[in-house]
């Protein structure tokens, strides 16, 4: 994987496709040429089984379907020829394909590209993350697939996806949670802020019951977990909490200075400390704060 490819994916799907669209050649097959998209039968299109997005909101699909009935499919679906068959596998645009089916369309506009399994997963993950189409578990599973199946390092994924390395590491850690907690996260019964403190905690599902029953917010959840552990979640306490460390790393990347976050004992209040090594760094921070 080279830097040019990473940069293209990081800029989004439209950048990847610029100038590379498909048309029919003389023997009626599809080849890479600069042309407009083509239209193929909707029954010849199949979803990608390894697509990171598994959940599709029914109301959103019906809304998109109504729009397609009125205006058609405005953005073509990206597909590749399925191996050993006459069908075309979706790379990006499964939601549009599903909505087009609901709308009763017989054919849809597509762009066909020759792509490897690795490229398909990269594109699908980038498109869904950029459009905020994935729930946290789907996003984490997408990262894990690229790491496990294609040998990506977190730093490489960071460049491709456009997310910080610490964000990717923290998302992957979600998969350490019990299935029941992940299911509640998918179903939006809890937020990612509720789920993070439960990672690595004994009897996490028991705490989940209390969180849902008492409708606890994120700070209340952190306090509950902290009490369960018998220590305060925060800075300089029996080994720093990984969630706080992740926040520190993200903040440091944003402002360019080392930072630390700490909580006051028996409280949800705390402080953020910024460390500068010269007056130029201090002056730069002050300018940003004054904007």
- Residues forming the active site: 94
Rounded to a whole number of angstroms, the distance between the first and last alpha carbons of the chain is 39
Structural contact between residues 247 and 231, judged by C-beta atoms closer than 8 angstroms: no
DSSP string, 111-125: EE----HHHHHHHHH
| DSSP assignment string, 260-272 | EEEE-TTSS-EEE
Tokens of residue 74, six digits: 């405005």
Query: Which ranges of the chain would DSSP assign to H, the alpha helix?
Result: 3-11, 13-17, 58-71, 94-102, 117-130, 136-150, 154-161, 165-173, 179-186, 192-195, 204-213, 218-229, 242-255, 279-290
Residue whose C-alpha is closest to residue 114's, from 32, 181, 51: 32
Are the CB atoms for 80 and 89 separated by under 8 Å? yes
CA 50 from centre of chain: 15
Query: For residue 259, what are the β-bridge partners?
Result: 274
């Amino acid at each position: 994987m080279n830097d040019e490819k990473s940069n293209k994916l990081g800029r989004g799907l439209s950048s990847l496709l610029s100038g590379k669209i498909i048309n029919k050649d003389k023997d009626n097959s599809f080849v890479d040429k600069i042309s407009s998209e083509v239209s193929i039968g909707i029954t010849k299109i199949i979803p990608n089984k390894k697509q990171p997005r598994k959940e599709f909101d029914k109301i959103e699909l019906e809304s998109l379907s109504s729009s397609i009935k009125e205006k058609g499919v405005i953005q073509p679906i990206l597909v590749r020829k399925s191996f050993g068959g006459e069908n075309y596998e979706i790379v990006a645009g499964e939601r549009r394909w599903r909505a087009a089916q609901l709308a009763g369309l017989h054919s849809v506009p597509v762009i066909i590209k020759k792509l490897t399994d690795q490229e398909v997963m990269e594109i699908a993950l980038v498109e869904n993350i950029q459009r905020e189409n994935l729930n946290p578990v789907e996003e984490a599973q997408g990262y894990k697939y690229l790491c496990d199946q294609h040998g990506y390092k977190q730093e490489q994924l960071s460049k491709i996806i456009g997310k910080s390395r610490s964000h990717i590491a923290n998302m992957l850690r979600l998969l350490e949670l019990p299935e029941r907690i992940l299911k509640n996260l998918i179903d939006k019964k809890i937020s990612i802020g509720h789920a993070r403190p439960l990672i690595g905690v004994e009897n996490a599902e028991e705490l989940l019951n209390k969180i849902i029953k008492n409708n606890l917010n994120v700070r209340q959840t952190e306090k509950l977990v902290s009490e369960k552990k018998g220590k305060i979640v925060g800075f300089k306490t029996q080994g720093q909490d990984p969630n706080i460390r992740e926040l520190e790393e993200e903040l440091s990347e944003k402002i360019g200075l080392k930072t630390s976050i700490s909580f006051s004992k028996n409280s949800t209040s705390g402080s953020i400390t910024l460390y500068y090594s010269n007056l130029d760094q201090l002056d730069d921070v002050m300018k940003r704060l004054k904007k």
